[in-house]
Amino acid sequence: MTEKEKGRKGLLYNPNHDATLIGERASCKKLCQEYNATGYADLDKRMRLIRQIVRETKNNFLVEQPFWCDYGYNIVLGENFYANHNLVILDGAEVLFGDNVFIGPNSSFYTAGHPIDAVKRNEGLEYNYPITVGNNVWIGGNVVVLPGISIGDNVVIGAGSVVTKNIPPNVIAAGNPCRIIKEINNVLS
């Protein structure tokens, strides 16, 4: 089994011992670099580049510059998606965003994690678990979402939160670690 195959199965793998993964990251980083260097007013080119970087977009989306990701092909952006400046997505596994998702500046989504055991970690091993963000979600600035997290529909995540556990639908959650603050009533589905 290749390192890439191990990573796709959520097993420990070494992303720096697989020529395919190294090449895919390099290609993606070049596209991100080109995107970030594109003039802000050149919206057509920016949209074309994002569509080259990520696996899927709908019609209406905007990702402010700068934006960085590892592979891009694991990222899906729903309709009416907006990400403010400095979005980072480490997408060794899928990162799926629903419709009407708004992300504040300096936010990060990490599918990659590393072993607690120092010997294994020092070997360069990591794992990847997918992240899913539902519909009608607002994520404040400086939020970090960790591997394997699912955020339900109609959720607000407060600025500065570190999301370490799944967040159910129809809640406001905030903090480090992120926790439910209150339920949201009378929301649209």
Question: What domains are defined for the chain?
Answer: 3-183 (2.160.10.10)
By the 8 A CB rule, do 34 and 19 touch?
Answer: no
Q: What pLDDT is recorded for position 186?
A: 67
To the query of whether residue 17 is one of the catalytic residues in this protein, the response is: no
Once rounded to an integer, what is the mean pLDDT over residues 19-38?
98
CB within 8 Å of 168: residues ≥ 6 apart: 152, 180
> Which residues are 164's β-sheet partners?
none
Q: Taking CA 37 as the corner, what is the angle to CA 137 and CA 112, rounded to the nearest 5 degrees?
A: 50
- Which element (helix H / strand E) includes 67? strand 67-69
Does the pLDDT of residue 189 top 90, yes or no?
no
Q: What pLDDT is recorded for position 119?
A: 95
> Which residues are 162's β-sheet partners?
144
pLDDT tens-digit profile of 67-126?
999 999 999 999 999 999 999 999 999 999 999 999 999 999 999 999 999 999 999 999
Which stretches of 16-167 are DSSP H helices? 19-37, 43-53, 118-122
Rounded (to 5) percent helix, strand, coil in the chain = 25, 30, 50
Q: What pLDDT is recorded for position 56?
A: 97
Q: pTM of the prediction?
A: 0.95
Cα–Cα distance for residue pair 134/155, rounded to 1 Å: 8
pLDDT grade, residue 22 (50/70/90)?
Answer: very high
- Please pick, among 4, 85, 114, 179, the residue that the annotation labels catalytic: 114
Once rounded to an integer, what is the mean pLDDT over residues 55-70?
97
Helices 43-53 and 19-37: angle between axes, nearest 10 degrees: 170
CB within 8 Å of 41: residues ≥ 6 apart: none
